[in-house]
Amino acid sequence: MNATKWILTAAFAALVAGPAPAAFITSLYGTGLNDDRSVRTDLQTELHYTLLSGDNTVTPIVFAEPHGFPIGPWLNDASSTTSRWITPSTATNVPAGNYTYTTTFDLTGYVASTATITGQWAADNNGLDIILNGSSLNLNNGTNTFLVFTPFTISAGSGFVAGLNTLQFVTNNDPGDGDNPAGLRVEMTGQADLVATPVPPTALLAVFAFGTAGLGRLVRRRRA
């Protein structure tokens, strides 16, 4: 490659930042997890979700396998290292109605338009919807879905935004049953492309300076 082509190639490489690789969304959590993603123990408070019940916002409670009922009919978590059930209260039975569990995650440093989330959820009695940044995703998991997980995918372009995002899981406690157990269990991971780091102007100047010096040496050798 002659010196002129080398200079142009190096300058172009410095100017163009290639696409950054996809990365794990570190601030996105399933239910019942510590900050290091280990599972919490029975009757500890939930760290990454809040709960809206009626007009009240409360901190959900973790129910783990040693708790006994309602885990039994609920999908068992004895061998799970990835999630726990969370519930409105330490009381086994709670009033009928809708319960909305809310978590947030931060896409600062990511390309929001490339974000995706895949996971699975279970709910008692059922999951009505998943809502991203206030918009329904029309994702439900049927009735009596505390027996098995239902998979879900939130695709790129579903409404992710730069910075803080809000994800809500809307569940229903069947009014036909009166006061009875209610809960949510979510396992999920997300990824998005990282924002490319721009090349500092000083680095570009260095490329040109180095290339120009190389061209000068080549010209002098040819004249000698």
Residue 204 shares a structural domain with residue 182: no
Domain that holds residue 7: 3-13+199-223
- Residue range 143-186, pLDDT digits in tens: 778 999 999 999 999 999 999 999 999 999 987 767 899 999 99
**Are 134 and 211 within one domain?**
no
- pLDDT score for 56: 82
Domain match, 32 and 86 both: yes
Phi/psi class of residue 118: alpha, beta or left (left: φ > 0; alpha: ψ in -120 to 50)?
beta
Same domain, 125 and 28: yes
Same domain, 158 and 205: no
Residues 122 and 146 in one domain: yes
pLDDT, tens digit, 9 for 90 and up, residues 109-123: 999 999 999 999 999
CA distances from 73 to 38, 122, 190, 209 (A): 24, 12, 29, 71
Whether residue 184 sits in one domain with residue 204: no
161 and 213 in one domain?
Answer: no
Looking at the 3D structure of the chain, how many domains does it have? 2
How much of the chain exceeds pLDDT 70, in percent?
Answer: 79
pLDDT at 184: 97
The Cα 13–Cα 16 span in angstroms is 5
106 and 72 both lie in a single domain = yes
pTM above threshold 0.75: yes
